[in-house]
Amino acid sequence: MTIAHEGSMRRAEPTRCRRRPWLTGAVFAVTAAMGVAQLIHPALLDALERSPAALHGQWWRFGTALLVQDGGIAGLASNLLFLALIGAIAEQVISRGWWIVQYLAVGVATEFLALLWQPIGGGNSIAVCGLTGAVAVAAWHRHERLPRWAPSAVALWCGALLATAWLPLIVLGFVGAGVARIRQQAGRSTGELVLAAVIATGAALAVVADIHGAALMLGLLLAWGRRR
């Protein structure tokens, strides 16, 4: 094997999580419990969601808006699914302390911006976007603990986010996941693909004033700044 060829070969990727994602599990449990409570007591959404009242004494809404879901059962299921996937991946490539920073800092910061773009609402999807930024940066740097299925999970999440702007765009997530799989089977890097997908999704959503776009870009900036 030549030196050039050896350098082009990718490091073997783990197929399973090497670190038990107990932090992701804990956040999942709390979010799921709040989701069930909201389904039983719908008034919780009005009491805890993001609204202009956060600027007039009800400051806790900047945090509690991450615990309630404005997308009904479908939104709750989707957000929990991708919290489990993206959260578990992030827990492999960053410390648990930094996981909390990416999740909460991006989530709360985006809630402030959301008062301009989408003043009423709630959901933990913007916090998951914060974790997505960390995963994308780790993929770019070819982190040794990045699971093999991570690129496909990120692609599907990007497709789900784009679908919030226009439902047919969800197909792009499946296309991206397929391309990632093909590149992996060919022994080629997927880090560039993951980073490009997150940047493109963030930019596209930001252009149409979708708060997920801002959350993705904030997540990338925070993770990139930490790596420098």
Please give the residue range of the domain that contains residue 124.
19-227
- Whether residue 140 is contained in a domain is answered as yes
pLDDT, tens digit, 9 for 90 and up, residues 157-181: 999 999 999 999 999 999 999 999 9
pLDDT at residue 14, rounded to an integer: 76
Per DSSP, what are the bridge partners of residue 121? 50
Number of domains in the chain: 1
> Among 87, 90, 131, which residue's Cα sits nearest to residue 107?
131
Measured distance CA(65)–CA(107) in Å, rounded: 9
- Whether residue 12 is contained in a domain is answered as no
- Whether residue 69 is contained in a domain is answered as yes
Which CA distances in Å does 190 have to 14, 61, 154, 200? 14, 38, 11, 15
pLDDT at residue 15, rounded to an integer: 67
- Whether residue 8 is contained in a domain is answered as no
pLDDT at residue 77, rounded to an integer: 98
CATH of the domain at 148: 1.20.1540.10
**Which parts of the chain register pLDDT below 50?**
1-10
pLDDT at residue 12, rounded to an integer: 55
- Whether residue 9 is contained in a domain is answered as no
- Whether residue 88 is contained in a domain is answered as yes
Which CA distances in Å does 77 have to 27, 69, 138, 153, 200? 14, 10, 26, 15, 25
Measured distance CA(19)–CA(27) in Å, rounded: 16
- Whether residue 2 is contained in a domain is answered as no
pLDDT at residue 173, rounded to an integer: 99
Which positions ≥6 away from 184 have C-beta within 8 Å? 13, 148, 151, 190
pLDDT at residue 7, rounded to an integer: 40
- Whether residue 111 is contained in a domain is answered as yes
